Structure 1
Amino acid sequence: MSTKQPLQLTEDWTVVLLGGAIIFLALSGVIVPAPSFGWKDSETLFANVLSAANLGKMGQQLLLVLATAVLGSLLTGKPLRKFIWVFPVVFVVTILALLLAGNARVKALNLEAVIFSLGLGLLISNLFKLPQWFRDALSTELFVKIGLVLLGTGIIFSDILKAGSLGLLQALVVVLSVWYFAFWLCKKLKVDDELAMMISSAVSICGVSAAIATSGAIKGDAKKLSYVISMVLITAIPMMIFMPMIANYFHFKEEVTGAWLGGSIDTTGAVVASGTLVGDIALKYSTIIKFSQNVLLGLAAFAISVYWTYTHKSSAEVIQAKPTAGVIWERFPKFVLGFVGASLLFSFVVSAEAAAAVKDSLKNLQGLWFALAFTSIGLETNFADLFNKESRKPLYAFLLAQTFNVLITLVIAYLLFGRESAALTV
């Protein structure tokens, strides 16, 4: 007999409800301003970031995310008293991480804010023995999935058209070929299924966002996700620096170089930075190709959800030759529906003017939810869990898959954009 309260929801449906509520409020005019975290010295830190006006914006974000998280705890039936003590700690550590990421010198390295939130969380977790009740009160999955629903508002299907037929063709060929190769390689190296799915998506689609979406779709281990994210962010830096140098040495056309960079580097920030190092044409091509791959994230997350639900049966289902439609629906991660629904809403329903008015606020909130999630992952993880002997095979798989990604993307970029007549439509 079920012990659920009448109003208690599953976490996935709660996420869809809360993410949808944030989007509805924004479209209704309740827009939470995005605070600034950019600074280069102590003067700009106090004048811009720690000013009364900017601290007020941070306070408004705190109220929104706290109210949302509290409502999430109530709807899912989680203990609220402990969460109220834990959340302010997570928020303060996350703000410190955003401050570090906002430094001008750090920005020049194109390091994502989530690596700082994860790093600070790991530092605290490994320097101090946090009580078990503190770890249990962390709401990592809730934070990640709300961020993913909001991420859908930035995945606009019309962006596919901006890439033209050649850009879309490259995105499809790269994503499919690299994903399959990476997954095959992981299986050959006996990497477990969860890590294999996350690595394959991260390498082939769009790095951090793809790894997070895949982990949510398969209900993956947060520690494994943090490991994949770390590999993505660390390898993006040398790729961002050396790939433009290689292109310059071999005198690649800017169109080819841009398509190569956009199709193989896993983070959008690193793609923009590397394209800028080459030139305006390379920057345009790299950005559009990257957008094309980003748009495929929603379709990929949905396909991965169906595949995982269909192939990974629980012990109670193993007696069945195939899961029934009801079983698939029961185990299907419902937050994906919120992600896709948000994307469809902003692609075909919301006007361009209305979308532009809420874009910055929702994108900033999305980044905040992800940062909160990775602070939580760090706080509940030990370094020994993140980097150990068992992590070597996933590392080898990731590096080999990334090498294949770089090579196959270069070949495809040259075939599509090496001709004088080849061009993207913008």
Structure 2
Amino acid sequence: MSTSPAKLTLHEDWAVVILGSLIIILAIAGFLLPVPTFAWKDGADLSGKVLSTGNLVKILEQFVFTLIIGGIGALITGKPIRNYALGFPLVYALTIIALVLAGSSKAKALNLEAVIFSLVIGLAISNFIKLPEWLKSSLSTELFVKIGLVILGTSVIFGDILKAGSLGLIQALLVVTSVWYFAFWVCKKLKVDDEIAMMISSAVSICGVSAAIATAGAIKGDSKKLSYVISMVLITAIPMMIFMPIIAHYFNFSQPVTGAWLGGSIDTTGAVVASGSLVGEVALKVSTIVKFSQNVLLGLAAFAISIYWTYTKHPSAKDKDTKPTLRVIWERFPKFVLGFIGASLLFSFLVPPATNLLVKDSLKNLQGLWFALAFTSIGLETNFKDLFNENSKKPLYAFLIAQTFNIFITLGIALILFR
């Protein structure tokens, strides 16, 4: 009979709340990691800036910090520490390569984000090299994604709703609600499964990649489905970014109308900024305000989706034909959402603006790093045949139909509100 004590482990969502809160508290207390430079234009720029000794030291400091945080996560969730310690350096190194590729001026011109490079690198390795089981077991995809989401809450400031202006907020509310419900309706008509339908609806209607990731976390969605949705978001953002300003110029839309149209329909913030810049200063300002207004709604949307999903979509065997009680809803509710909302409330009402200004770059850098680490991990555990197969056609059709509706309904609302 064994006398070894039982190992005390935490649910991953609670572990994420603890780790995300620890990172935020350390930042507020003054422990700020320096932000490495990944932007470069040519070979000389790459070697002189990105690969300089000072920048490599910053990258190493990030590695040590994320290794420790992720190691604590593995420890308190009961994952093998040895496998994590061996696997994480590889995941981190691949992620840094992705960040360097995404930092090139050509990638930035095409609005290719680091997560897509992370995913592609991971997929390339997993599809051509047979990975050992210990490496697969070391991947902490969900942990990395949710830590990034908790940190993301620090940038969702409720006070900025007022700064964004009433017209921007009104458009955001109208676009998010109408496009979300239309996208979900189309997905149901095309018999797209519920998980990917929720991700598509949020990605198209709210703020692209971040909304898809938040929704996947809220519903405990399949990471492979999340990868596919994000691929669609990033790929469609490129032609929209290029052609929508041309269309606006052809029809002689005013800059405020064009900016509101771009900000409400293009799914990634980077593409919105790039597209608005092509039109003019006023269009850039309005597009940024409208997009930011939609981003602010992400926390509320994630909370509402969590409640809906836990109440309607996951009955256990014993209560399959009955609605779950409040206790059951609480047990199923993704606790990381509380960390996200708590971080948002903290930075909205308690953290002084001066402190927020001081820590935001470091926290944003860490948020992007955790997301990139997660997508490297997703790529390493996914095969192309799982990502792009016959079943991927219907979600693609649903996404394109919803995005087309988004473009036209947003234009109509922009013409009414910003003419």
Q: TM-score, normalised by structure 2?
A: 0.98
Match of 2:133 in 1: 132
Match of 2:300 in 1: 299
Q: CA deviation at 1:385?
A: 0.4
Matches within 5 A, 1:111-190: 111-190=112-191
In the alignment, does 2:48 pair up with 1:50?
no
Q: CA deviation at 1:229?
A: 0.3
Q: CA deviation at 1:30?
A: 0.6
Q: CA deviation at 1:315?
A: 3.3
* 3-state SS, counterpart of residue 38 of structure 1: coil
Counterparts of 1:27 and 1:330, CA distance in 2? 31
Counterparts of 2:201 and 2:105, CA distance in 1? 32
Q: CA deviation at 1:165?
A: 1.4
Amino acid at match of 1:78: K
* 3-state SS, counterpart of residue 251 of structure 1: coil
Match of 1:390 in 2: 391
Structure 2 runs not aligned, ≥5 long: none
Counterparts of 1:360 and 1:5, CA distance in 2? 41
* 3-state SS, counterpart of residue 58 of structure 1: helix
Structure 1 runs not aligned, ≥5 long: 419-426
Superposed CA offset, 1:400-424 (max 9, x none): 0000000000000000011xxxxxx
Amino acid at match of 1:129: K
Counterparts of 1:156 and 1:224, CA distance in 2? 29
Match of 2:193 in 1: 192
Match of 1:408 in 2: 409
In the alignment, does 2:231 pair up with 1:230?
yes
Q: CA RMSD in A?
A: 1.1
Alpha-carbon spacing, 1:391–1:346, altered in 2? closer, same or farther (3 Å): same
Counterparts of 1:265 and 1:132, CA distance in 2? 40
Identity of aligned residues (%): 71
Alpha-carbon spacing, 1:390–1:355, altered in 2? closer, same or farther (3 Å): same
Counterparts of 1:357 and 1:7, CA distance in 2? 37
Match of 2:96 in 1: 95
Q: CA deviation at 1:159?
A: 1.3
* 3-state SS, counterpart of residue 122 of structure 1: helix
Confirm or deny: 8 A CA contact 2:196 2:395 kept in the other structure: yes
Superposed CA offset, 1:153-174 (max 9, x none): 0011111112221111100000
Amino acid at match of 2:365: N
Alpha-carbon spacing, 1:275–1:368, altered in 2? closer, same or farther (3 Å): same
Superposed CA offset, 1:42-63 (max 9, x none): 1111111111111111111101
Counterparts of 1:390 and 1:103, CA distance in 2? 34
Amino acid at match of 2:335: K
Amino acid at match of 2:255: E
Counterparts of 1:106 and 1:320, CA distance in 2? 50
Q: CA deviation at 1:7?
A: 3.7
Match of 2:360 in 1: 359
In the alignment, does 2:288 pair up with 1:283?
no
Counterparts of 1:154 and 1:313, CA distance in 2? 31
Superposed CA offset, 1:309-349 (max 9, x none): 00013332434521000000000000000000000000000
Counterparts of 1:190 and 1:197, CA distance in 2? 13
In the alignment, does 2:280 pair up with 1:309?
no
Amino acid at match of 1:374: F
Q: CA deviation at 1:244?
A: 0.3
Counterparts of 1:4 and 1:317, CA distance in 2? 32
Counterparts of 2:244 and 2:93, CA distance in 1? 37
